[in-house]
Amino acid sequence: MKFSAKCKNTKRTADRLGLVGWVKNEVKSRPGQAALKTVVGQVQGEETKVSIMKKWLRETGSPKSKITDAHFRNESIIDRLEFASFDIRK
């Protein structure tokens, strides 16, 4: 499975929930260790839907993905959405 497929499943889930934002694959090099492949992004939408997305990211994820940890930070309540859709960034 290509690493980019993980973003496609994340986008599909965000679209199904009516969320907006973005997702991007990142590869972080670690001296003396294998590179760390991870997914980063930003999600905006109704609070309950964002909670569902966070649970999916933490517990389910894309098929064949290996979830070892999930971090969510810089969370805040906003007056209006900053994105019109949920996109995959390169």
7-66 pLDDT, tens digit each: 889 999 999 999 999 999 888 888 888 887 888 899 999 999 999 999 999 999 888 778
Give the total number of structural domains in the chain: 1
Query: Is residue 53 domain-resident?
Result: yes
Query: Is residue 31 domain-resident?
Result: no
Domain extent for 43: 1-19+37-63
Of residues 75 and 67, the one with the higher pLDDT is 75
- What's the token pair of residue 41? 């992004």
Query: Is residue 52 domain-resident?
Result: yes
Question: Which residue in 20, 25, 58 sits closest to 40, CA to CA?
Answer: 25
What is the pLDDT, as a whole number, of residue 3? 45
Burial of 87: CB neighbours in 10 Å, binned 0-12, 13-18, 19+: middle
Q: Indicate the pTM of the whole model.
A: 0.83
